[in-house]
Amino acid sequence: MKAIVCNAFGDLSQLKLAKIDEPTCGPNDVLIEVRFATVSFMDWLMTDGGYQMKPSLPYVPGTDASGVVKAVGKNVIRFTPGDRVATSTWYGAYCEVMRAPEGSCSQIPDGVSDLDAANIMYSYGSAHYGLIGRANLKAGETLLVTGATGGVGLAALEIGKLLGARVIACVGSEGKRELAMQYGADTTINYATEDLRNRIKEVTDGRGIDVGFEMIGGETFEKLARSMNWNGRLLPIGFASGNIPSLPMNLPLIKNFSIVGSFVGAWWEKCNDEAFKANDQVFQWASLGKIQPKTDRVMRLEEAPKALELLVKRKVKGRIALWVSGPKP
């Protein structure tokens, strides 16, 4: 089968289209004929060697995909061949046939396209778990989202609005403000040109934010930590800046706010039943048109290195999808 193979960490030129053997199906696995795989920052971080998990080389990158079940292992009970499914796992999606654990897969409901389904599980799953499972975001609270026009960021804006929050979107350029507003932001802050702490004070009348959904890391995380409301919850979702922040612990002490970890991939593995319910809710929202996954563009499988380069250069709004098989969009 055709697949994108990473031969060495830290160099996108080491990602090559190759012919490899199809994976075998273990007793708890699902084999999926991939239709679309989406490109995430986590995919790039893993190929760059900066992720906490380093697969054995060579490996097939890609966390998220949608497609049709080709085969199931003997212990699998939720899926049968021919089912339309989406999956989000650690790697293996940039190929024609991928293997995924049963627990990482969800049925795609009628009314949700394969393209949208590939863009839902990780992005909206991360936002759902963070905002509902970890932060317990309530109607009327103020939510601030950094990296707000990436796939996970847009999902957090939409879910925040569905939950009745007042939503502030932090973006890195003027051209991203409009998209953030379309996805539910009540206010936008351009942290490339505006003073983030001062603007948070202005737009919250000095109260600060109740929930921070933070994906940049470094100085941005510390600025949010200095901008929290009493009893707030600050979620470190990712570190797109490449800098893992350290924080003076007098800050959460003074404001009585919590720093709440939110690692959706580990939660899926440890709490399958809860994760199934959360993912089912997200797909139900999609089938009812309550959420609108944003695909920036569709590229061919062999263009995966270019797609990752666009992502790293911050030229992507939402997610890039790689078309692998089935009807072209």
pLDDT at 252: 93
Would you say residue 318 lies in a domain?
yes
325: three-class secondary structure by DSSP = coil
Would you say residue 284 lies in a domain?
no
311 and 227 in a single domain? The answer is no
Q: Assign 308 a pLDDT band (cuts: 50, 70, 90).
A: very high
In eight-state DSSP terms, residue 318 is: B
In eight-state DSSP terms, residue 130 is: I
242 and 313 in a single domain? The answer is no
Q: Domains in the chain: how many in total?
A: 2
Integer Cα distance of 250 and 308 in angstroms: 39
Question: What number is the average pLDDT over the span 125-154?
Answer: 96
How many Cα neighbours within 13 Å face the side chain of 302?
A: 5
18 and 135 in a single domain? The answer is no
pLDDT at 240: 80
Q: Greater confidence, 238 or 204?
A: 204
pLDDT at 51 over 90: no
22 and 41 in a single domain? The answer is yes
CATH number at 26 reads 3.90.180.10
pTM: 0.91
Q: Assign 265 a pLDDT band (cuts: 50, 70, 90).
A: confident
55 and 185 in a single domain? The answer is no
pLDDT at 327: 84
Provide the residue type at 278 as one letter: A
Would you say residue 289 lies in a domain?
no
Tokens found for residue 266: 């580990």
129 and 215 in a single domain? The answer is yes
103 and 75 in a single domain? The answer is yes
* β-bridge mates for residue 188, sequence order: 169
Torsion angle (degrees, nearest 10) of CA 107, 113, 119, 124: -60
* β-bridge mates for residue 86, sequence order: 66, 106
Tell which of 219, 245, 265 closes a domain. 265
Domain that holds residue 80: 2-119+294-323
Integer Cα distance of 314 and 297 in angstroms: 14
Beta carbons within 10 angstroms of residue 58's beta carbon: 15
Is the separation of the CB atoms in 287 and 261 below 8 Å? no
Tell which of 221, 247, 265 closes a domain. 265
pLDDT at 242 over 80: no
Mean pLDDT, the chain, whole residue set: 94
pLDDT at 204: 97
pLDDT at 111 over 80: yes
Would you say residue 273 lies in a domain?
no
246 and 299 in a single domain? The answer is no
Integer Cα distance of 79 and 276 in angstroms: 13
pLDDT at 251 over 80: yes
Is the separation of the CB atoms in 16 and 95 below 8 Å? no
149 and 67 in a single domain? The answer is no
DSSP sequence for 42-102: HHHHHHTT-SS--PPSSB---SEEEEEEEEE-TT--S--TT-EEEEE-SS--SBSEEEEEG
